[in-house]
A and B are shown apart, each in its own frame.
Chain A
Amino acid sequence: MEIGLNHYLVLSTILFAIGLVGVMRRKNLLMLFFATEILLNSVNISFAAISHYYGDLTGQMFAFFVIAIAASEVAVGLGLLIVWHKKHNNIDLDNMSTMRG
């Protein structure tokens, strides 16, 4: 059986839905970061698949930039999370609803 572009797109959509469920139900901010990583990775799969099936390298380029953005997001987000944890001793999302500083 031949694996076509639609197979990869359906897989990417399933992974994206899993990540979306994670974003919706997680309360711990670290777990929320995991869910965003899943979202970015599912998009990367569809970029690579489209790049392969249309014979165009642009998709792979975009996947590289997505990986770079994911890496810098982790660095800054984790730094902010450490600062918050030093100050308030928890990383629950519900305590961050106000910006009292």
Chain B
Amino acid sequence: MFEAVAFYLFAFLTITMFYIAVTTSQALYALSSLAAGMIFISAFFFILGADFLGAVQIVVYSGAVMALYAFGMMFFDTTRDVKEKQGNKAIILGLSILSAILLIVIVSAPIVGNNIEALYPVGNAGNVQEVGKVLFTKYLVPFEVAAVMLLVAMVAGIVLAGKKMDLSLTLMTEAEILMMKEEDKNKKVLS
């Protein structure tokens, strides 16, 4: 009973929030409703017993991703209304049919997969402990690859968003570095 009430409440809230995020013409409304939707989604993870996943969802999405988006919005002009494109009717029709077929396949998937056996069954210990066991034994290599991917993404983000990233201080001579500093000073005086 409690599960049903929680499910329907949070389903309604997430669908509403994501609908607002997709349809509104104000960029700030879209950002805040997306953040709210992310937090409501973590409620499903807690209902499903995936406690660690729910905590990660809150930390990563509303902590890191939303902070990045908020930082990005300071760069762009978000005060004017977002213009929508007039879509091609044939493409929209085709994609709608495709998503309808997808819906049928997804809903009928549990019927086909009735005789699936659990590869890594859920044990008696807490969720975090079980996740840690599986993640650091069977999924150790994908975990390390994901770590390298995050490192690459971090370096890429710094290089792309930083200033004067095409220059390398280690490859320049002392005189060039001094000249660059002089130029910076002159620019500041001029501006």
A residues within 8 Å of B by Cβ?
A: 1-3, 5-22, 24-28, 30-31, 33-35, 37-38, 41, 44-46, 48-49, 51-58, 60-61, 63-65, 67-76, 78-83, 85, 91-94
Contact = CB atoms under 8 A, between A and B. Distances in A.
A65 B56 CA distance: 11
Contacts of B153: 71-73, 75-76
Nearest to A45: B44
Contact of B34 (A16, A38, A92): A38
Nearest to B103: A13
Interface in B33-77: 34, 37-38, 41, 44-45, 48-50, 52-53, 56-57, 60-61, 64-65, 68-69, 71-73, 75-76
B109 interface: yes
18 contacts: A14-B15, A18-B18, A19-B18, A24-B95, A26-B22, A28-B83, A30-B69, A37-B61, A38-B22, A41-B37, A44-B41, A67-B56, A67-B57, A68-B150, A69-B149, A72-B152, A78-B161, A82-B75
Interface residues of B, number: 78
Interface in B130-167: 130-131, 134-135, 139, 142, 146, 149-150, 152-154, 156-161
Q: Is the interface of A mostly helix, strand, loop or mixed?
A: helix
Nearest to A1: B4
Interface in B74-129: 75-76, 82-85, 87, 91-92, 95, 99, 102-103, 106-107, 109-110, 113, 116, 118-122
A76 B76 contact: no
Contacts of A57: 120-122, 130-131, 134
Interface of B: 1, 3-4, 7, 11, 14-15, 18-19, 21-22, 27, 30-31, 34, 37-38, 41, 44-45, 48-50, 52-53, 56-57, 60-61, 64-65, 68-69, 71-73, 75-76, 82-85, 87, 91-92, 95, 99, 102-103, 106-107, 109-110, 113, 116, 118-122, 130-131, 134-135, 139, 142, 146, 149-150, 152-154, 156-161
Contacts of B84: 25-27
Given A38-B18, A45-B41, A67-B57, A79 B85 contact: no
Nearest to A38: B18
A56 B118 contact: yes
A8 to B, nearest CB: 7
A48 B150 contact: no
Contact of A37 (B19, B34, B106, B142): B34
Contact of A15 (B18, B31, B72): B18
Nearest to B15: A14
